[in-house]
Amino acid sequence: MQAWTADTPTGPYRNNFLSEQLYEASFEKAEVILWVEPVEGSGKKRGDTVNLFTMTGPAEVDDGALAENIRIPELPTPLSAASFLIKEFGKAVTWTNIWDDWSKYDLPAFVKKRLRENMRLTLDRSAGNAFKSASISFTPTSAGTVTIDTGTPAVPSVAASAAVGVTHLQLMRDYLYGTLKAPYFGNGDAYIGIFNWAATRSIRTDPLFKEYYVLGHPEKLQRGEIGVVDNIRVVETNHDTVLQVVTSGGVNIGQGLVFGDESVAFAEAQTPELRMKIADDYGRSLGCAWYGQLGFGVFHPNANARESRIIRVSGNNFATP
């Protein structure tokens, strides 16, 4: 039974069964929020700030060999601290009793579907804003070169003058792996790259991509992935409010994000749920909303090696959130 229960004697009605379905379905179809990492430290009566503490070492200072009768060297605990805020999220849809009385369509079914879509887009956009606050930006300036900018967050110093290609992905992989020493995502053996459809089109048409696609086991790709290039799993999105499409010299240039493990944190004080509006105007005004209390933040808001994990791939007008 999918029963609506009152939140308070005079408050909104909740449907926890539908809320769980809506939440899980929204996450399954998202492209960005799939890659955030849940953290503890939030909940009712815990304030609106989530503090992130992670270790960044200890540093490699010698070969680790010990001498007899000499104590094991002790090093201070190297911590990296960051924080972000929990905020309220939600959207409502309203209708009148006439819909229920006269329409042959099941309006609540349409409402549930559209709220699920709105939740997916909204949370994906918020997660994307956290990724876009990263401290390193790559801007393609030719078929084989990029301009690198750093800051908190990084602001591109030039406009993109070339579409993203395989060579650019190779440069990003080398920077993450060789310069930043960033670990691969999760327990896997690859970084994650999320790109706008315009960027994935230019990657697909790059003559170098064919070899990677054939050798990358395309039958094993996850939802939205177009291939694996030099240890970067390339995921496609058409969510243009997260990653934009711009035109330069008549060429569509997309934007992207490439990152490793421990990039963006996610916390929730109130899991998103469905809430029914209390009938107003003697039962004539009806409505339903999704509502939650969530937050997203970068684990390492700097460009330091062994800490920073995210590269923003910019085009023109890559707005800072």
- Given a cut of 90, whether residue 263 has pLDDT beyond it is yes
| Residue 67 falls inside a structural domain | no
**pLDDT tens-digit profile of 101-148?**
666 556 667 787 888 889 989 999 999 999 999 999 999 999 999 999
The verdict on residue 87 lying in a domain is: yes
Type and span of the H or E element at 15: strand 13-15
Distances (CA, A) of 124 to 88, 197, 206: 15, 16, 28
Which is nearest to 320 in space by CA: 301, 293, 300?
301
Q: What is the DSSP letter of 318?
A: -
- Overall residue count recorded for the chain in this entry: 321
> What would the pLDDT profile of 8-49 be if each residue is shown by its tens digit?
444 554 555 445 555 555 555 678 988 999 887 666 666 788
- 1 assigned to some structural domain: no
Domain range for 281 is 12-53+81-321
In a domain, 6, yes or no: no
Count the domains in the chain.
1
Record the tokens describing residue 39, joined without a space: 């953290």
CA atoms lying within 13 Å on the CB side of residue 220: 7
* pLDDT of the residue at 76: 77
Task: Say if 261 falls within a structural domain.
Answer: yes
Residue 41 covered by a domain = yes
**Residue 280: partners with Cβ closer than 8 Å, 6 or more residues away:** none
Find all residues with CB under 8 Å of 264, minimum gap 6, and list them.
35, 36, 37, 127, 130, 131, 296, 297, 298, 299, 310
Task: Write the CATH number for 98.
Answer: 3.90.1690
Has residue 38 been placed in a domain?
yes
pLDDT in the model for residue 248: 76
Which has the closest alpha carbon to 272: 2, 126, 90?
90
Q: What is the pTM of this model?
A: 0.82
Q: Which residue has the tokens 């090696």?
A: 305
Q: Is residue 48 in a domain?
A: yes
Alpha carbon separation from 29 to 8, 35, 123, 265, 290 (Å, rounded): 32, 12, 11, 19, 17
